[in-house]
Amino acid sequence: MKLKVFVVVAATAFIMFATSQNGFASDNNPGYNLIKTSGCLACHAVDQNKVGPSYKIIAETNKKLYGKDAIKHIEKSIENGVKGKYKNLGITAAMPPYGYLGKQKIETIAKWIMSLAK
Ligand code: HEC
């Protein structure tokens, strides 16, 4: 009987731990949800470079380059696309333009990306 209780408690703790690890705090964030539903994750991950740079690298690079104007630069890149900015990381592909998402959604996404900068 005691063992059963222990197993249930341990399983619950494990599930809580696992979801807190993989789910990021971002899972319920509107910006991250837009990224998920707009196909961005085909080329991007949060903390790993894929076809495109990780969102953490993007946030930190733009913060270093433009300080508090970083968000505007990120918005512009999402709207119009960009190429060659991350070639120092060996990234040669282009970021396609996503202007059709509209200013509001692009701003929501850009804010979330910049929230990853330290
Ligand atoms: C086909 C692959 C692909 C898809 C899909 C894609 N990206 Fe990118 N993205 C890239 C690449 C490649 C770069 C790096 C471009 C460079 O080096 O200049 C990039 C760069 C970026 C940057 C950095 C721009 C900067 O100025 O620093 C942002 C922000 C970004 N992507 C956001 C997004 C968002 C948001 C979506 C979805 C709406 C998306 N990407 C979808 C490939 C992609």
Instruction: Report which of 55, 114, 46 is spatially closest to residue 86, judged by C-alpha positions.
Output: 55
Q: Is the pLDDT of residue 15 over 70?
A: no
User: How many Cα atoms within 13 Å fall on the side-chain side of residue 87?
Assistant: 6
Angle subtended at Cα 72 by Cα 53 and Cα 65, rounded to the nearest 5 degrees: 60
Residue in 44, 50, 115 to alter for ligand 1 test, most ligand atoms within 8 A of Cβ? 44
Q: Is the CB of 106 under 6 A from ligand 1?
A: no
Name the pTM for this structure: 0.84
Q: Is the CB of 96 under 6 A from ligand 1?
A: yes
Ligand 1 atom 34: residue of nearest CA: 40
Name the CATH superfamily, with its identifier, for domain 29-114.
Cytochrome c-like domain (1.10.760.10)
Q: What is the average pLDDT across 54-69? A: 97
Give pLDDT, residue 105.
98
The pLDDT mean for the chain works out to: 87
Residue in 38, 65, 95 to alter for ligand 1 test, most ligand atoms within 8 A of Cβ? 95
Q: Is the CB of 56 under 6 A from ligand 1?
A: no
